[in-house]
């Protein structure tokens, strides 16, 4: 399985930063080759062409379609679930990502 670049976005990048750290630990434990970064929504264009998947914080659900249009068609765009995002459960987030990517 080739390494995949994953970008998490939230409003300011703070909560997704903690989530990304927890997801990196969980992915490493599972042996998933995910390179996970977190950035603010405003930085998305700087990274859009270098990612395989975009995970969007649940509080940005209203902007989901706009964010989806901001990345190339081959990028998998995933809306994170409030249940694991609220408690920064990196393991649950990684499993959701893994299911969505189908790898």
CATH code of the domain in which 86 resides = 3.40.50.2300
Which residues span the domain enclosing 67? Answer: 4-101
Q: Is the pLDDT of residue 93 over 70?
A: yes
DSSP characters for the chain? ---EEEEEEESSSHHHHHHHHHHHHHHHHHT--EEEEEEEGGGHHHHGGG-SEEEE-GGGGGGHHHHHHTS-TTSEEEEPPHHHHHTT-HHHHHHHHHHHHT-
* Residue 60 confidence (pLDDT): 93
Token readout for 15 is 């909560």
Count of structural domains, the chain: 1
Mean pLDDT of the chain: 94
């Amino acid at each position: 399985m080739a390494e995949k670049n994953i970008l998490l976005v939230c409003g300011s990048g703070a909560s997704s930063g903690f989530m990304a750290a927890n997801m990196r630990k969980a992915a490493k434990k599972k042996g998933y080759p995910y390179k996970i970064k977190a950035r603010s929504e405003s930085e998305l264009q700087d990274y859009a062409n270098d990612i395989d998947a975009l995970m969007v914080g649940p509080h940005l659900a209203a902007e989901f379609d706009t964010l989806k249009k901001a990345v190339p068609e081959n990028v998998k765009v995933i809306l994170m679930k409030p249940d694991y995002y609220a408690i920064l459960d990196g393991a649950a987030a990684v499993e959701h990502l893994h299911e969505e990517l189908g790898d």
